[in-house]
Amino acid sequence: MLLGDRLYLTLKDRELVNEDGSAIGALESFRRLCDSTSTLLKSLGLMPTSLLPDERAGSLDAVFERISKVRKVREGATSGEQSPSA
């Protein structure tokens, strides 16, 4: 995500096409980074469109609940506690 942000900042004030009319290479790199980030976030259940394993799959509340659980696990890992799935 950080690479995508940096690349976006580089691209936002540049011409996005070469003299021959083709897209610059950095634009394709940015697109691939966005796709990869989106796929990763979706697979982790961190996007509203992610499929969650329970009956609340379409619920935005379920997404925020999932994010909260991930944060708790991360906080436990940084404080030296073992995660519940370990």
| 26 & 55 share domain | no
| 6 & 29 share domain | yes
Domain region containing 73: 48-86
| 39 & 2 share domain | yes
Q: What are phi and psi of 74, to 5 degrees?
A: -65, -45
Whether pTM > 0.75 for this model: the answer is: no
| 39 & 1 share domain | yes
| 60 & 86 share domain | yes
Q: Per-residue pLDDT for the chain (86 aa), expressed as one digit of tens each?
A: 788 888 888 888 888 888 898 988 888 999 999 999 888 888 787 877 665 555 555 566 777 788 888 888 888 877 665 545 54
| 26 & 10 share domain | yes
* Tokens standing for residue 6: 């940096």
